[in-house]
Amino acid sequence: MLVIIGVAVLLVAVVAFFAWKALSTPPPFLNKKRKTAEIIDIKQLSHDTKRFRLSLGSSRTPLGLPIGKHIRLFAPNRNNPEAELRRERSWNGRPCREAGSEIQRSYTPTPSVKNTGFVDVVIKIYRPGKFQMPDGREVTWEDGGKMSHYLDSRQVGDKIEIMGPIGMHEYLGCGQFKVPGKVIASKKYGLLAGGAGITPMLQLVWAALHDPNDTCTFSMIYANKTEHDILCRDLIEEMIESSNGRFRVTYTVDFPPENWGQPGSARLSNNLLTQKTGFITADMIKECLPSPDQQPIILMCGPPPMIEFACKKNLDALGYPADMCAVF
């Protein structure tokens, strides 16, 4: 009788423990309402790129961001009083289309082994100055980027307003990809990224590679101006090496360094990482991405000119069906 009572007490204790644990788990940070997050770390990744680590308030709090969606950051519209009057009318020499006292921008967090307690956002800083374009033209940005200019001035301990989840697309796993109004599916993905557009691609591939039931393969072309502009390069190449052949990447840059694209110049010795030069072309897509007859899903993220002229135009010419292509 005493044994039975002891077992019963033990079972009650176990059930109570797991019930307490379930109830004590914080809800996801993101709930589609504006929240305040504190910047707890800032890391300089390159000459014009920073990683901002935002606290979720508790070390056990999950972010709650579905794969393929993003978060929205908010900032003052005009944060430089000296140029406020001019910036009301124009920005970087063009008419300013944003009115009001606030701006907002969307970003995809970078993946992390630890998925609770904080979220990392990689931001490319567009500072005022002169820049050389791929065609050799020199342009002057008198203001730089609004949001990146604001974030560049932030320090550890500062707080920023964020909201999410935001977005129309979601990777459901095992090749299932949700777009507005339907779900499309394929075991092969072609990814076209430019600059900071790498982040949603890494989020998706990271999730697929860490799902033991997911067998999809991913081929990506990642375009930048220079080799130094390649964001999250260490993470990209770690993912390539651990992918068992499921993740292939081609870097293409407008201004290549010496020996770029030559045999042995890539940091990985296998054929999963290659190097090319120039804009994304139809020939590059034909060589590096799954062909249309393999019925791949093609995802794009990058500057609007790249999406419209280097991606969509060439994809259409090569026969990729529009209903299997999506832009983040």
Is 249 within the bounds of a domain? yes
The residue from 49, 70, 110, 222 that is catalytic is 70
Domain final residue, candidates 166, 191, 215? 166
State the burial class of residue 318 (Cβ atoms within 10 Å of its Cβ: 0-12, 13-18, 19+): middle
> Quick one: 216 and 95 in the same domain?
no
Active site residue 70: yes
Q: Is 277 a catalytic residue?
A: no
Task: Tell me whether residue 10 is in a domain.
Answer: no
Residue 316 has pLDDT above 60, yes or no: yes
Q: Are residues 203 and 298 in the same domain?
A: yes
The DSSP-derived string for 211-223 is -TT---EEEEEEE
**Residues 121, 253 share a domain:** no
Domain-located, residue 13? no
Asked if residue 211 and residue 174 are part of one domain, the reply reads yes
**Domain with 94 in it:** 35-166
The number of folded domains in the chain is 2
pLDDT in tens, 47-93: 888 999 999 999 999 999 999 999 999 998 864 444 554 555 666 66
Of 136-145, 233-242, 280-289, the poorest mean pLDDT is in 136-145
Query: What is the domain-level CATH number for residue 211?
Result: 3.40.50.80
**Would you state the pLDDT for residue 49?**
86
CA distance 206 to 243: 9
Rounded average pLDDT over 165-193 = 96
Residue at which a domain ends, from 118, 139, 166: 166
Of 148, 166, 184, the residue that ends a domain is 166
Same domain, 75 and 95: yes
311 is catalytic: no
Q: Would 3 be classed as within a structural domain?
A: no
- Which segment of 72-76, 84-88, 246-250, 262-266 scores lowest on mean pLDDT? 84-88
Averaged confidence pLDDT in the chain: 86
- pLDDT greater than 50 at residue 20: no
Q: Of 232, 288, 301, 311, which one is the catalytic site residue? A: 301
Please write down the long-range contacts of 255-264, taking CB distance under 8 Å and 24 or more positions apart. 255/134, 255/225, 255/226, 256/226, 256/227, 257/226, 257/227, 260/227
Same domain, 174 and 111: no
**Interval 214-227: pLDDT, tens:** 999 999 999 998 99
Do both 198 and 286 map to the same domain?
Answer: yes
Catalytic position from the list 61, 107, 199, 252: 107
Active site residue 47: no
The residue-averaged pLDDT of 102-131 equals: 85
Q: Which whole number is the average pLDDT over 86-112?
A: 75
Q: Please report whether residue 4 resides in a domain.
A: no
Q: Please tell me whether residues 88 and 176 are part of one structural domain.
A: no
Do 319 and 187 share a structural domain?
yes
Are residue 192 and residue 141 in the same domain, yes or no? Answer: no
CATH number, domain at 92? 2.40.30.10
| Alpha-carbon distances, residue 127 vs 156, 228, 231, 305 (angstroms) | 20, 17, 17, 20
Q: Say if residue 191 is in the same domain as residue 61.
A: no
9 lies in a domain? no
Lowest mean pLDDT among 69-73, 121-125, 284-288: 121-125
Of these residues, 49, 108, 110, 217, which one is catalytic? Answer: 108
174 with 153, same domain: the answer is no
* pLDDT attached to residue 36: 96
